[in-house]
Chain A
Amino acid sequence: MNTMKKMKLSKKVFALSLSIAILLPLLTACTSETPQADPDATSAQGDSQVSEPAAGGDTAESESESDTLPAGIDWTTHETFTWWTNSAANDYYASYIDNPVIKYLEEKFNVTFVFEEPVSGSEVDSLSLMFGTSQYTDLVAMNQYQGSWDELLEDGVIIDIADYLDYMPNLCARMEADPGYKTALYNDEGQILSINSYPEESTKPWCGLVYRRDILEEMTGGNVQFPSGKDEPETIADWDYMLPLFKEYFEKLGLVEYAPLILPYNGYFPAAELTDSYGVYPYNFYVDETTVYFGPAQDGWREYLGKMNEWYKAGYIYQDFASRTQDMFFQPNTSLLYGNAAGIWMGMLSHLGDVMSDPASDVVYDVRPLKSPTAEGRTSADQIRHTTPPSQGSGLIYILTTACKNPEKLLAILDYMYSDEGGMLTMYGLTKDQIPADDTIYAANGLDEGAYWFDSSGSFVYNPLMDAVGGSLQSAYFAGEKIPGYIRNSYKTLAVADEVKNAYDKWCGGDDLTVKMPMPGISLTDEEEAATKGITMDLFLYTVELAPQFIVGTKSLDDESWNNYLAELEAIGLSLMLETNQTGYDRYLDR
């Protein structure tokens, strides 16, 4: 009996010990220390990427430079600020500390920047570790943060930038000039928890629909005549003219596997190409002026699926599109594109022209950008936006953490980047006069004259070595693209090759005409979050599952089947989600 009791006691003790042992390591993560990064400690760990303090040491700052610096800040004291940002390693330098624009800013503002850059692909882990261990940097790029912002706010990690707007006159001016940007920066509580860049004009796309013009020329003997009467295909009827020609061409070559049109695995292009022909945005919630809609529940979605089903049955869509997963650019395999077996696909700028031609064969590709077509009975005004409007901002989203000992100074520096001059730094880099004395990157790459200059007539001239104008240097790495600020991209749009301009024109479609666009980042209350948890994801998964079935034809698009589909969306919680998003969007507009 005693033995039994002893055994039971031992088991209890053992179970208790196990529980304590499990809990102990978890508790080690809780620390009472004030959350802040210690740049000195970082240096002590042998960090090779910490740059030397700017020339002049702690107190040196020339009188003339001080005159140009924002007032109200002590610029004579040297300061160190820490940043967490995505990996910056590239062909020219391994760390962002060596970015020439950063060096310029360090010299100009008498500061040192210390960068935390995770290894490519490890960003999420790195962010989790940083927040989990309370070792925050002053600035943190949050684009890949997967945790709760509310928790960070409750834990006092994030500084409300709205309290420091006195130090940010340039940012305020941008917000005044574009109230939409102001709305996007503030949250419903009147706080500014993060900042991102403000582009002068919508960031241009680097990919879009492309087609093989050379095939059409060959199949028509050089007499391509689109039903719309245009030189380039612009309507669904034009596509109905093109697709059979592609199919005929591939069959003449005796190809077993070919694709007049490569559709993504889920049945639609994410930036709304082709679905916009029918006036709907795919899967996502979108806004039409002040009303929120769910694309895959609209009649236009049914029309789109019907057309795709018609093309699929006719053999115009790659037969195995739905069996693919998430290949880059939805290419089932590269052999279709490079093996002369694809007619229309989601292409890149680098696909345009004849660069994809095979020198070993006689086939000379002529790849051209393709405008999203307009369906019969609809106008281009029905098209929805493909690019993010400037008011939504772009680039990395940064928070300022409570680890920052001098937020006024750091925000004043960032504010400079929202000026016109700062906008040139983020977009183009340095002029000859701005290149820091200790910089080696520009000189080593032949940019002694700077990344750009203005000629005698005052026109912008991009250094011909830059890739944007046909050179070999990747221009983004010589500018400060990771720094939040104003992005003066209009000069670049004018400077690029005509071929690229043509692609922008086609791929941006009716961006200037449209009122429909993806719903901006709204904030839901805790109650709304709790009530609608998982609904958006479930709606997405259901529509992604059903769209290919409608296209392939395993599910009919007749009234009964369509109504069942709508009923299932309703059962998942579509109405509740629409109502909640509408409420959130109303609050957003009221900011």
Chain B
Amino acid sequence: MIEKLTPSRVVFNIINYSFMILLCIVCIAPVWHILMASFSDPRTMMATPGLFGWIVGSPTLEGYRIVLSNPSVLTGYRNTIIYVSAATLLGIVLITMGGFALSRNTKLKKPLTLMLIFTMMFSGGLIPSYIVNMNLGLLGNPLALIIPGSINAFYIIIMKNAFDQISPSFEESAKLDGAGPLTILIKIMLPLVKATVAVIVMFLVVQHWNSWFPASIYLSRRRDLWPLQLFMREILVQNDTKMISAAEAASAASLVNNLVKHCITVVGTLPILCVYPFAQKYFVKGVTLGGVKE
């Protein structure tokens, strides 16, 4: 059916599109500004007010040269990729299994769901969590970034709801064909909730890519194990410190520090931005599938 464009509909569309375009600009402008600034001449950048529409002054790759020649950045990349891959893989396996178990009509379904929801509302807090992880021997251990944060109760609920949407007939027919629970999960159910799985994987990847706090607590003395975000944070904070340091005698160095801030932000953000387009097609479908009860 083709919708008839009434005058009010046209007005609505104009306002709607204008608003959405504005929203896009608001989201994209800061990212674009940082990107352009990272290629700009540092002195001219300091003298130019407002958002940058294009590179100001003579284009330079000096900031990227400094950032990428820093061994910490490469170490951080390596570690981050390991943490993101491991935590996402472990997470999606556990979340899928958890969601599937909770979607079955078992005796413990309700209490287990309640216990799960409880963790969404209350947490032990930083110090108890630290003590638990310390007693588990996770201090200075890379597993501290993989195991504790791998499961998210909210994602399990989304996954459970996604499984709930699937008609019981699928499971029944599979059972008649002699399939066990694992076969049903892997061969029947998972392909049907592919969109939800994709979205949760996306969420997990972004979450673990941006994560720096657990590393700052559990791996503070193991620089060789730091993720990229922690190195980024240190570089950004220390650049601020250097700018207010009495030891900072050369103004040119302050200018370069400012350039480095923009470059490191791009270096840390760009890879995760590139993942979005590949997962976008699953977004609406996946979230809706998991979010609707019936």
Contact = CB atoms under 8 A, between A and B. Distances in A.
Contact of A28 (B123, B128, B230): B128
B238 A89 contact: yes
B238 A334 contact: no
Contact of A350 (B224, B240, B250): B250
Interface of A: 18, 21-22, 25-26, 28-29, 31, 42, 45-49, 87, 89-90, 94-95, 116-122, 125-126, 128-129, 132-133, 135, 204, 206-207, 257, 328-329, 333-335, 337-340, 348-351, 355-356, 358-360, 467-468, 470, 472, 474-477
Interface of B: 43-44, 46-49, 57, 118, 122-128, 130-132, 134, 137, 139-141, 213, 215-217, 220-224, 230, 233-234, 237-238, 240-241, 243-254, 258
B130 A339 contact: no
User: Majority SS of interface residues in chain B?
Assistant: helix
Given A25-B128, A26-B124, A333-B49, A46 B141 contact: yes
13 contacts: A25-B125, A28-B131, A46-B140, A46-B222, A95-B221, A117-B221, A119-B233, A121-B234, A206-B244, A335-B48, A355-B251, A474-B247, A474-B248
A469 to B, nearest CB: 10
Given A45-B137, A339-B47, A476-B247, 18 more contacts: A22-B122, A25-B124, A26-B124, A28-B128, A29-B131, A45-B139, A45-B140, A48-B223, A118-B220, A119-B216, A120-B237, A129-B126, A329-B244, A335-B49, A340-B47, A349-B248, A474-B248, A476-B245
Contacts of B124: 25-26, 28
B221 A47 contact: yes
A337 B48 CA distance: 10
B243 A328 contact: yes
Most buried by B among A22, A87, A120, A132: A120
Contacts of A477: 247
Contact of B46 (A18, A49, A89, A338): A338
A467 B242 CA distance: 13
A523 B134 CA distance: 36
B48 A339 contact: yes
Contacts of B47: 334-335, 338-340, 358
Contacts of A257: 49
Most buried by A among B44, B127, B132, B137: B127
Contacts of A340: 47
Nearest to A118: B220
Contacts of A360: 43-44, 57
Contacts of B252: 355
B237 A121 contact: yes
Contacts of B125: 25-26, 29
B246 A349 contact: yes
A350 B249 contact: yes
B18 to A, nearest CB: 28
Contacts of A329: 244
A339 B46 CA distance: 8
Contacts of A339: 47-49
A26 B128 contact: yes
Contact of A129 (B130, B222, B241, B258): B130
Contacts of B249: 349-350, 467-468, 470
B110 to A, nearest CB: 12
A47 B140 contact: yes
A328 B251 CA distance: 15
B50 to A, nearest CB: 8
